[in-house]
């Protein structure tokens, strides 16, 4: 008996102890957003020299002896956690695609990947960034006039606190002009201009004396005057409009500025006695104040305003890999690419993001407690083996001394 007889039990205790650490780490992170369960796997440690025990026995081995157990850790990256709603505007979860990761930069050009979408705002030197819970900069594509940039960059939140009104240039109206017992009807359209944050443009129809199904058209405007390019509106005998289909109101505002509004009246009718308005549309809008910022299901960070408008800020960059299971766990819930992850590529976020939600840890508590019991028993058996070997060695020492 030699000291080598202790190696199997010592390596066994070391391996079981490490595996217990893995279990403990999993349990500690059972509520960590985007955490992927780790597991410890084992393999045999074999001797390095071949042996031939002789032709008579017929026993041959490529290894002299089995000298214990080794271990290594594996992160189950491909398993997705349960997605739960949080209500936080900057939270976003990836759902339905295990090979998609948010892209982060530590500020020094080092790129990391994560499934944890619990993002925050961080202001540095007057610039507000979207960052991970660990302070790394979220990567994305900045909004442009015609979509989004093709260049990856830090997502900055530079939405204006207010947006000005948009001038009305087109409008449409669906309404009925009373056919009987009414000589005058007024239809009001709320319009906007560069200098006026809303004014009522009234379209006035008055029955033309001595003309059947004919109305005189004029305009009235708060804060200015308006003149139409048509003076009469004529209806067919079946109540549909005959002419004109469109009218234009040329506007002079009280401050001297001018504008014009093209109005589609082709859906107006002349029935009965009601001047009911069904629908009025126009392409302008009032000024608005910033109301909220949120990430939507397309991965777009948008600013929403009190006037109902929204402005795109950036689109989050999701990254996939040829072999995502080979990503290297770095720290917390971060992963690094390496030579074994294959090519990286951007993943279209449409349909796989859940706003105001987070992906939970993939730890299964019941499995971890079961594993803990198995490991504890295995450790005890290895310790018992060590004790027996120690007692046998003590007897041997006593015999030769």
134-193 tens-digit pLDDT: 999 999 999 999 999 999 999 999 999 999 999 999 999 999 999 988 999 999 999 999
For residue 106, give the nearest of 140, 142, 126, 131 by alpha carbon. 131
Per-residue DSSP letters for 308-320? S-EEEEEEEPEEE
Residues 110-136: tens digit of each pLDDT: 999 999 999 999 999 999 999 999 999
Residue 262 CA, distance from chain mean position:
40
Outline which parts of the chain fall under CATH 2.60.98.20. 170-282
Give the CA count within 13 Å in the CB-facing half-sphere of 19.
Answer: 27
In the block, which residue shows the tokens 């202790």?
6
What does each C-alpha distance from 198 to 90, 125, 277, 288, 380 come to in angstroms?
A: 33, 38, 20, 12, 81
- Which pair of tokens denotes residue 275? 């001047």
Measured in degrees and rounded to the nearest 5, phi and psi for residue 278 equal -90, -45
Q: Per the structure block, which two tokens stand in for 250?
A: 């040329």
Q: Give the pTM.
A: 0.77
Q: What is the pLDDT of residues 63-115, one digit of tens each?
A: 445 578 899 999 999 999 999 999 999 999 999 999 999 999 999 999 999 99
Q: What CATH architecture applies to the domain 170-282?
A: Sandwich (2.60)
How far, rounded to the nearest angstrom, does the alpha carbon of residue 159 sit from its chain's CA centroid?
18
Question: What pLDDT was estimated at residue 4?
Answer: 62
pLDDT in tens, 199-252: 999 999 999 999 999 999 999 999 999 999 988 999 999 999 999 999 999 999
Query: What DSSP line would sit under 336-352, residue for residue?
Result: E--TTS--EEEEP-TTT
Q: What's the rounded Cα separation, in Å, for the pair 154 and 204?
A: 54
Share of the chain above pLDDT 90, in %: 82
The answer for 308, left when phi > 0, alpha when psi is -120 to 50, beta otherwise, is left
Q: Is 370 left (phi over 0), alpha (psi -120 to 50) or beta?
A: alpha
* 365-400 vs 7-28: helix crossing angle, rounded to 10: 160
């Amino acid at each position: 008996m030699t000291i080598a007889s202790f190696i199997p039990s010592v390596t066994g205790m070391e391996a079981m102890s490490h595996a217990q650490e893995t279990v403990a780490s999993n349990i500690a992170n059972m509520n960590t957003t985007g955490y992927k369960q780790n597991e410890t796997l084992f393999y045999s440690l074999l001797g390095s020299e071949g042996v031939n025990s002789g032709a008579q026995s017929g026993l041959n081995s490529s290894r002299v002896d089995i000298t214990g157990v080794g271990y290594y850790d594996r992160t189950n990256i491909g398993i997705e956690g349960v997605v739960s709603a949080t209500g936080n505007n900057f939270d976003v979860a990836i759902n339905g695609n295990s090979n998609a990761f948010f892209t982060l930069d530590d500020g020094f050009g080092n790129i990391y990947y994560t499934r944890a979408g619990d993002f925050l705002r961080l202001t540095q030197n007057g610039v507000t960034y979207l960052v991970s819970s660990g302070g790394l900069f979220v990567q994305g594509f900045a909004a442009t006039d015609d979509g989004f940039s093709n260049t990856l960059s830090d997502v900055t939140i530079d939405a204006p606190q207010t947006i000005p009104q948009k001038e009305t240039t087109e409008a449409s109206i669906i309404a009925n002009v009373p056919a009987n017992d009414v000589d005058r009807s007024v239809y009001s359209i709320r319009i906007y201009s560069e200098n006026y944050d809303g004014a009522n443009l009234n379209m006035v129809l008055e029955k033309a004396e001595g003309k059947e199904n004919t109305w005189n058209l004029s305009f009235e405007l708060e804060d200015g005057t308006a003149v139409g390019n048509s003076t009469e509106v004529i209806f067919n005998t079946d109540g549909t409009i005959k002419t004109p289909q469109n009218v234009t109101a040329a506007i002079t505002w009280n401050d001297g500025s001018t504008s014009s509004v093209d109005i589609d009246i082709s859906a107006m009718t002349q029935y009965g006695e009601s001047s009911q308005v069904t629908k009025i549309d126009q392409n302008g809008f009032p000024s608005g104040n910033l109301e909220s910022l949120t990430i939507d299901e397309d991965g777009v960070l948008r600013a929403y305003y009190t006037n109902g408008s929204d402005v795109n800020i950036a689109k989050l960059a999701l990254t996939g890999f040829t072999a995502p299971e080979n990503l290297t766990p770095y720290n917390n819930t971060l992963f690094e690419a390496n030579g074994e992850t294959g090519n990286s590529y951007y993943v279209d976020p449409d349909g796989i993001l859940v706003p105001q939600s987070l992906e939970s840890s993939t730890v299964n508590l019941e499995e971890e407690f079961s594993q803990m019991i198995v490991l504890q028993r295995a450790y005890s058996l290895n310790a018992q083996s060590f004790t027996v070997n120690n007692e046998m060695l003590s007897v041997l020492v006593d015999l030769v001394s």
